[in-house]
Amino acid sequence: MPSHRISLLAAFLTTAPAVAWAGAPGPITFDDALGLARQVPRVAAAARAVTEKVELDRHISSAPYNPQLSAQPGWRFQPRDARQPEVIVEVLQPWNLSGYADARRRTVVVEEDVMRAEARASALAARLGAARAWIDLWAAEHVVEEVRREESIARELERLVARAAALGAMTRADVAEASAYHAEARIAVLAAEGEVFQRGLALARELADTNAQPLHTAGELPSPAVPADQRSAEYLDRLGALPAVTLRELQARAAQARQLEEQAARGTFAQLGAVLQRDAPGGLVVSGLARVTIPIFDHGERERAGMRAETARLEGEQRDAMIAARVEVAVSFHEVSHSAEVLAVLRDDLAPASRQAAETRRLIFERGGATLLEVLQSDRAAVAAASRLCRLQAEHAWARTKLWLLLAEVTLAASNGGGGS
């Protein structure tokens, strides 16, 4: 199969170095586009955010409260012979007795997992966006080649008709039709060139090229190996590892963890310490101090209500994301096989037959055996078939590539023990 090729991609996604990028002046291959997608600002920032959080989380203290120090200076007025300064100093250390420290650590771990899932989702979206933009640009570039070829044929046809009309073999109406057809071909070239420009800028945007100049493709369309339709059920059962699904699940767990953390923060806690009192005349008293706060009235319901509601909402979104992922992958499996069938008919039958018909009709016309209208109709049909072929080749490549990237994420998550990046 297939699955070993997907495993290779998973290895590439985790180990391959990012391609150096300073706004490439030359054409870009599909592999280069995937590599460049790894360092677009939103992907790099998401990965850096994980690093920053993990680094600071390591320094979270196991004691959630800081010591408290209070001083109460004063002056004794009575009796008169004992007038002198006095001071009371308290040192207290609060301790939560409801497991707040452990709840904080559990919340931190889940929050880090959420950020890793966000980074994975951002990276996958960038790869999908770059792949789609590159394939769309490839299609536009090849369509413009077909349209330019047709424009050159229309130009030559106009020349032949004008020469024949000068010899009296063609009418003015024939000349007008040939001229109109050539003008129509020139307009089609301009439209196709405009699409290439826009698609080139779209690829530049996906790859974060700050030059704001259209890019160009190099090389052939990607054709990654993907599983056959018969294996779709095997992968549909593993889609919980996709970033969009994992992210919602982890976000729900994080909301639940924050709720438990808030409940623990409002639980029982004690303050233990010592009191030092300098008493006149010349007295010194040292005593212990213990205070206990018991959660009789407030259990953090105000804060926890929103967190519980958030948990319920995210659990629903996780189930919805799972359904959406299953449908998306099922459609991708179908699109791979369906587009392959249509492509085979278009590539092997319709396009070559249309081109051969146009060329043959043109030869017959030059020998006087066909009308100009028949030639124009044949040429238009040939151009339409060639353009459809380019776009369908691109659609088939996109269907395979999209499925390839999605299943690679599932394989990557499985190799990492169920998730994470």
Other Cβ atoms within 10 Å of 147 Cβ, number: 21
Cβ atoms of 386 and 362 closer than 8 Å: no
Residue 92's closest CA among 270, 268, 264?
A: 270
- Please count the residues of the chain: 421
404-417: pLDDT as tens digits: 999 998 888 767 66
142 located within any domain? yes
20 located within any domain? no
Give the C-alpha separation, 207 to 32, whole Å: 10
pLDDT of residue 369: 79
| pLDDT, the chain, mean | 87
92-127: pLDDT as tens digits: 999 988 898 899 999 999 999 999 999 999 999 999
56-104: pLDDT as tens digits: 989 888 888 889 999 988 888 877 777 788 889 999 999 988 898 899 9
21 located within any domain? no
Instruction: Give 276's DSSP letter.
Output: E
207 located within any domain? yes
Residue 3's closest CA among 330, 407, 406, 409?
A: 407
Can you give the CATH number for the domain in which 36 is found?
1.20.1600.10
Instruction: Give 217's DSSP letter.
Output: B
Cβ atoms of 247 and 117 closer than 8 Å: yes
Which residue range is the domain that position 391 belongs to? 3-15+27-415
Any bridge partners for residue 76, and if so which? 84
The structure tokens listed for 141 are 């570039």
22 located within any domain? no
User: With 80 as the cut, is the pLDDT of residue 185 above it?
Assistant: yes
261 located within any domain? yes
pLDDT of residue 304: 87
Global pTM reads: 0.83
Give the C-alpha separation, 87 to 286, whole Å: 12
Total domain count for the chain?
Answer: 1
Residue 131's closest CA among 321, 403, 325?
A: 403
How far are the Cα atoms of 213, 308, 359, 381, 401 from residue 329, in angstroms, in the given order? 34, 32, 42, 35, 12
The region of weakest confidence among 29-43, 60-74, 186-200 is 60-74
Other Cβ atoms within 10 Å of 63 Cβ, number: 11
Residue 67's closest CA among 98, 91, 102, 99?
A: 91
Other Cβ atoms within 10 Å of 373 Cβ, number: 11
308 located within any domain? yes
Listed in order, strand segments (DSSP E) in 268-373 are 269-279, 283-293
351-405: pLDDT as tens digits: 999 989 988 988 887 787 777 778 788 888 888 898 999 999 999 999 999 999 9
Residue 406's closest CA among 250, 273, 241?
A: 241
Q: Region 218-229: what's the mean pLDDT?
A: 90
Instruction: Pick left, alpha or beta for residue 99 (phi over 0 → left; psi -120 to 50 → alpha; otherwise beta).
Output: left
Cis amide linkage into residue 67, ω under 30° from 0: no
3-state per-residue secondary structure call for 179-215: HHHHHHHHHHHHHHHHHHHHHHHHHHHHCCCCCCCCC
Give the C-alpha separation, 308 to 315, whole Å: 11
Q: Would you place residue 24 in the very low, low, confident or very high pLDDT band (cuts 50, 70, 90)? A: low
Instruction: Give 168's DSSP letter.
Output: T
Q: Region 145-169: what's the mean pLDDT?
A: 85
360 CB-near residues (< 8 Å, 6+ apart): none
pLDDT of residue 4: 44
**DSSP notation for 71-129:** EEEEEE-SSGGG-EEEEEEEEEEEEESSSHHHHHHHHHHHHHHHHHHHHHHHHHHHHHH
420 located within any domain? no
228-283: pLDDT as tens digits: 887 888 888 888 889 999 999 999 999 999 999 998 988 898 999 999 888 766 77
* Strand ordering across the sheet containing 68-76: 68-76, 84-96, 269-279, 283-293
Q: Would you place residue 15 in the very low, low, confident or very high pLDDT band (cuts 50, 70, 90)? A: very low
